[in-house]
Amino acid sequence: MNSQELATFITTAIKRQVDEPGTLTDYREPLVGFAAADDPRFSELRQVASPTHLLPQNLLPGARSVVSFFLPFAHWVVQANAQNKKMVAEEWTNAYIETNTLINRITAHLVDSLAERGVRAAAEPATHNYDPVSLTSHWSHKSVAVIAGLGSFGLHHMVITDSGCAGRFGSLVIDANLPATPTEPKVRCLYFYDGSCLDCILRCPVNALDENGQIDKDRCLQRLRSVASEYAYLALADACGKCAIGACSFEAAV
């Protein structure tokens, strides 16, 4: 199996899982991108994200490529969460939980199916892989997505893809070569483009974002814990998503 055949196999496997997810949540077409494991931007994450950010080789010795994928929520999931400024819709919290489980299932399936083809793979969990003190992730699926050409960061610290930012990211490291997805310094955030949009700041119920691009992680975390408490009957419902309800929800706004 050459690199292009392997890329097609991985992409098809992801899309097949999302076509029949076994969830209440619906999704739009998944996005899949690839990056070389030795891309220097992975090392740069230790300066711009966290000094403890893992490298692909830390996840998998001999890593050659990184796979990133984005599962965009269906319109109705986003619309449900937009109906109330402060209250997080159950549809959104359920989507958060179900999608994290789906991402873990997708990566586990790929690890097994690739192993059958002589390719080793490894993955980090979809969420809750952050330092409880610094609140920084050991492996940022969002940053990996940018390196793999799927999108660019917006004012809200979310990654805006050509299918928007309302969804979840997953990633996988493998010891085989894949054709890297072309990347370009494309601005997808309207605020960064011409300063015309502040949807994410205005919609944040705890004022955790500002126009300087700063985020109060502690305030955001307390908000997530509050939502999890409200939805105690749903496991790990620490979701909010109000900053993802705006001009960039479903597509790049620029």
Residue 141 belongs to a domain? yes
How far apart, in whole angstroms, are the C-alpha atoms of residue 167 and residue 223?
A: 19
Please report the pLDDT score of residue 135 as a whole number: 65
Residue 52 belongs to a domain? yes
Residue 253 belongs to a domain? no
Residue 235 belongs to a domain? yes
Please report the pLDDT score of residue 15 as a whole number: 98
pTM, entire model: 0.96
Cα four-point dihedral sign 169, 108, 139, 119? negative
Residue 251 belongs to a domain? no
Residue 34 belongs to a domain? yes
Best CA proximity match to 227, nearest among 90, 129, 107: 90
Domain with 27, as residue range(s), is 3-244
Does the pLDDT at position 236 exceed 90? no
Residue 249 belongs to a domain? no
Using one digit for the tens of pLDDT, what is the confidence trace for 116-167? 999 999 999 999 777 766 667 899 999 999 999 999 999 999 999 999 999 9
Q: How many CA atoms lie within 13 A of 234 on its CB side?
A: 21
Q: In total, how many domains does the chain have?
A: 1
Residue 250 belongs to a domain? no
Using one digit for the tens of pLDDT, what is the confidence trace for 168-186? 999 999 999 999 999 888 8
Query: Among residues of the chain, what percentage have pLDDT more than 70?
Result: 98
